Chain A
């Protein structure tokens, strides 16, 4: 399977804990994106990378959120001191170039109790 993969698929954590998600993009895709989706809504943009450079961050990405893409391959999204409002589906997508289609992974569903 050469699609976008995400791990874990589901994460349950207690409020105040830190969590980290991983995304592996489609091989040779230079751009990697993170989105967040809550129930009944479309995905909302969080941030994106071109290779290892983080080029844009949404105002939704508070200082508790940090994303990295070392070596321009996989990416991680970390949430520190989780809050109940962080409960959502976290989606990763990748594309080859800046005008190309974005392909999504299966998502990581975060539940903060």
Chain B
């Protein structure tokens, strides 16, 4: 079993929809959680960075962390075709800060 599980999709939504992306994890030592956006053949771009449980909002993006359930989410409001990309969750904690990534969810926003 992988330490971080993420549905690979693909997920297709119409423009303007609210998108919900999720990851589950098994290592209770994880305390720092990130979401990255990756366009095809490009490097990952950091979207959100959160520590421990709670919510964080930045523009159209909201990140949620529920450590009791070992579950994290990224919500995208008013989705745009330019949001079409692969979204990667990543996390670290304990004695190391190497990032453990999910496999990524491929999102397509249809105009």
Chain A residues packing against B (C-beta within 8 Å): 4, 6, 31, 33, 35, 40-45, 48, 56, 58, 89, 91, 93, 95, 98-99, 101-107, 109
- Contacts A101-B46, A103-B46, A109-B41: A43 and B32 contacting too (C-beta < 8 A)? no
Q: How far apart sit A33 and B98, CA to CA, in the bound complex (Å)?
A: 8
> Which B residue sits closest to A91, measured CB to CB?
B43
Q: Which of B18-61 contact A (CB under 8 A)?
A: 32, 34, 36, 41-46, 49, 51
Contacts of B65 in A (CB 8 A): none
Q: How far apart sit A13 and B65, CA to CA, in the bound complex (Å)?
A: 43
How many residues on B have C-beta within 8 angstroms of the other chain's C-beta atoms? Answer: 25
Contacts of A41 in B (CB 8 A): 103-104
> Which A residue sits closest to B2, measured CB to CB?
A42
Which of A48, A56, A107 makes the CB contact (< 8 A) with B43?
Answer: A107
Interface CB pairs A-B, < 8 A, 10? A33-B98, A33-B99, A42-B4, A42-B6, A42-B88, A42-B101, A43-B44, A43-B90, A95-B97, A103-B46
Contacts of A99 in B (CB 8 A): 32, 51, 97
Query: What's the least CB distance linking B41 to chain A, in Å?
Result: 7
Contacts of B104 in A (CB 8 A): 40-42
**Structural contact, A56 and B96, CB atoms closer than 8 A:** yes
